[in-house]
Chain A
Amino acid sequence: MTDTAPKTGSLDLAEEFLDRTTPLTRIRGILHRHPAISPALVLLVAVIVFGLLNDRFLRPENLSLISQQVAVVGTLAIAQTLVILTAGIDLSVGAIMILSAMVMAQTAASTGVPPVLCLLLGLVVGLAAGGLNGLLVTRLKLPPFIVTLGTLSIFTAVTLLYTGGTTVRGSEIPPLLTFTGVTFSIGGISLTAGVLIMVLLYLIMAYALNRTAWGRHVYAVGDDKEAARLAGISVNRVLVSVYLAAGAIIAVAAWIQIGRTNAASPNSGVDLNLDSITAVVIGGTSLFGGRGAVWGTLLGALIVGVFRNGLALAGLDVLYQTLAVGVLIIVAVALDQWIRKARS
């Protein structure tokens, strides 16, 4: 009775379409809906450019080398994606991986424990470390950044105390633990078991995130925690499950790392923390949570691998690789901010 406005209804939709008429906003809308498009384009362009710069780049040996270089970071980045989707961040992925790898290798090398049990022990270490992160985030209500900054130091120190800083050589490690370094030839490109395991993990996680209720809940919690709670989702249970899953995935990354380096060193892989975050961010997953896809992360890890390899082949100093990765991160986050404006 108080309303003199025109008829309600379809006008809202019409307005939305009017808003999208410029090509730029239309592109933004598409990128908004399919966050994996932009990293895919970047990867494609990078591969073409590096291929033109150096004809060695596209050779099968080089491509399989890139895949092996990417396997560890790519696997860690799956764990990182999970945590970042919940609007968190995990600074301890590298430290957990090294701890898990050292426990596996040292137990196998210095005790008579069967290799299979050593692998399981590494998995338990990953789960326990991830579970600790999850409990601190949910019970003490501390920001994930602070929790994992603390556990990064704790896990690193525990690793050094446990190993005394010594490396376990490949000759002391049983074949099962270095199995991830074994190569298979598929269509002329030789892939290691570690690369195949990484791809398998991506398939599993893409399924879990897109096709199960748990996946929806992970996105919902990262998107709007309060809305998720009001919808009846147990937010804390989802968060703990995410950190546990991350811990398990990190343990697998530890296994791949042992195979890749044919050793277990408490000092290797210090950069892997930030590299995993880089892969996630370049892959289009938003640091604000609730948006992104695990396939984007694989593309992000490949982009970093391709840039490092391509620049090295082009004869540039390693510092330029680091510089390029830094530029990539800033461009990726700026792009994410711009895409997120499509919301309003």
Chain B
Amino acid sequence: MTAPASRSASASASAHDVDTRAPILEARRLVKTYGRVVGLDGVGLKLYPGEVLAIIGDNGAGKSTLVKCLTGAEVPDTGELLLDGRPVSFKRPQDARAAGIETVYQTLAVSPALDVASNLFLGREERKRGILGSVFRMLDTKGMRAKAGRELAELGISTLQDVTVPVENLSGGQRQAVAVARAAAFGSKVVVLDEPTAALGVRESNQVLELVKALRERGIPVIIISHNMPQVFEVADRIHIQRLGKRAATITPQSHSMTEAVAIMTGAQTA
């Protein structure tokens, strides 16, 4: 299929899109310019339930801009965003979060001195029931710790048994696991991971990839941005390739090889 410069989202759906299901998150003809620089030039994207969609592209191809538009960090000039088929617009990252799109940032957005449970519930702490909670604002520390433990167990994060350990005592992979667990908890609809393994070693990267698979098993769709081709091909169901501000192709690990994906990314080949 070749649909690199498609202007219409419906026409741009490639053969690998699973059109029978309704996408959870859909972007249509997103345009974002910075002065004279065109960051996004009419990009469409569909994310289906329970899939891992990787976004790859060379530097300046617009993958970061695309993700920023999806997560409220940037507001697109034109174009539409649909969540569960309903149009949405995000002015700030908090809007996207409130709508159920959780983002894990490359810079680990965890608070080092706070413990694992406090980090999981940071910004949405739960209070005790009754007068202790309503008048004295007392936190339900025990309840939050129990929930945090269950959440981590469900995600199969076995190395984080003790949720009372300060995050700074954890390894890089474990910290990333805390960040991912926070994104996946609280009934989020979409989890976006921005270069989740960029700062990690091989073994720790694998822990994070296992976590991504665990999210998929729970039915939470994941968008993952990565430079690492082997990782992308290991974990992704579909791969969205950005090139020069446009979507060059959407492929699958089965339909294309890594070499072909790189060739599409660099413009040496069309899909």
Contacts and interface: CB of A to CB of B under 8 A. Distances in A.
Contacts of A228: 111, 122-123
Interface residues of B, number: 42
B217 interface: no
A220 interface: yes
A211 B111 contact: no
A55 interface: no
B105 A232 contact: no
Contacts of A212: 137-139
B114 interface: yes
A290 B110 CA distance: 13
A232 B105 CA distance: 13
A230 interface: yes
Contacts of A1: 230, 234
A179 interface: no
Interface stretch (B20-28, B47-55, B82-90, B163-171): B163-171
A-side binding surface: helix, strand, loop or mixed? helix
A11 B93 CA distance: 36
Interface stretch (B32-40, B201-209, B218-226, B263-271): B201-209
Interface stretch (A2-10, A41-49, A65-73, A313-321): A2-10
B113 A232 contact: no
Contact of B111 (A11, A207, A219): A219
A13 interface: yes
A216 interface: yes
Given A9-B158, A230-B93, A231-B123, A220 B111 contact: yes
Contacts of A11: 203
A93 B19 CA distance: 65
Contact of B109 (A13, A227, A290, A343): A227
Given A10-B158, A212-B137, A228-B122, 13 more contacts: A9-B159, A12-B174, A212-B139, A216-B118, A216-B122, A217-B123, A223-B112, A226-B107, A227-B109, A227-B111, A230-B109, A231-B123, A232-B97
21 contacts: A3-B202, A3-B203, A5-B206, A8-B206, A8-B210, A9-B158, A9-B159, A9-B207, A207-B136, A211-B138, A219-B111, A223-B111, A224-B109, A224-B111, A226-B109, A227-B109, A227-B111, A228-B122, A232-B124, A290-B112, A343-B168
Interface of B: 93-94, 97, 105, 107-114, 118-119, 122-125, 127, 136-139, 141, 158-159, 166, 168-171, 173-174, 182, 202-204, 206-207, 210, 230, 234
